[in-house]
Amino acid sequence: MASEAKTTSMDKSVFTNKAKAPTEKDLVNALGNAYLLWQDIFNFVYLKYPAATNEWNFPGEKYGWSFRIKDKKRAIIYLLPRDQFFKVALVFGQKAFEEIIASKVSAKIKRELESAKVYAEGRGIRLEVKDKKILKDITRLIEIKLAH
């Protein structure tokens, strides 16, 4: 993941109209089969943290609309809609990072996290979700995030 690379169409939300937040129908149409995976992740977060809140967010033209699920004071996960797939973004503090490195999460995810730039809020990672294969790792990452 190049941190300073120019944003490509793959890095930008499929929803770019600042005046219109995406609807559920828009999301279904944009994600296609990946919509069910989006729902799986959404439902998993609420199963583990029923008090979560969520909102669409428009950080700017460069990124377009994203969906954020939060606890009382921080984002748990960002869901970033793309054309026929989506990305999840998570940020981990040091304790969560250490637990991930010691966990059974895939070596590829561990390498990406180890090479991620460290910010005050922690290390961030974005993962493409195109099929069910990555869901087990994502649910484990959510559990670790919620534990810290």
Question: Would residue 28 count as lying in a domain?
Answer: yes
Which two tokens mark 145?
């995030």
For residue 130, being part of any structural domain is answered with yes
Residue-wise pLDDT for 86-113, tens only, equals 999 999 999 999 999 999 999 999 999 9
Domain around 124 = 9-147
Asked if residue 2 is part of any domain, the answer here is no
Q: Which helix (H) or strand (E) holds 88?
A: strand 86-92
Looking at the structure of the chain, the number of domains it has is 1
Residue 4 lies in a domain: no
Residue 76 in any domain: the answer is: yes
Tell me the per-residue pLDDT of 135-144, one tens digit each, with 9 for 90 and over.
Answer: 999 999 999 9
H or E segment and range at residue 137: helix 135-147
Tens digits of residue pLDDT in 48-84: 999 999 999 999 989 999 999 999 889 999 999 999 9
Residue 120 covered by a domain:
yes
CATH of the domain at 62: 3.90.1150
Q: Is the pLDDT of residue 1 over 90?
A: no
Q: How confident is the model at residue 11 (pLDDT cuts 50, 70, 90)?
A: confident
CA distance 34 to 143: 22
DSSP letters for 58-84 = ---TTT--EEEEE-SSSEEEEEEE-SS
Residue 3 within a domain: no
Q: Could you tell me the pTM of the whole model?
A: 0.90
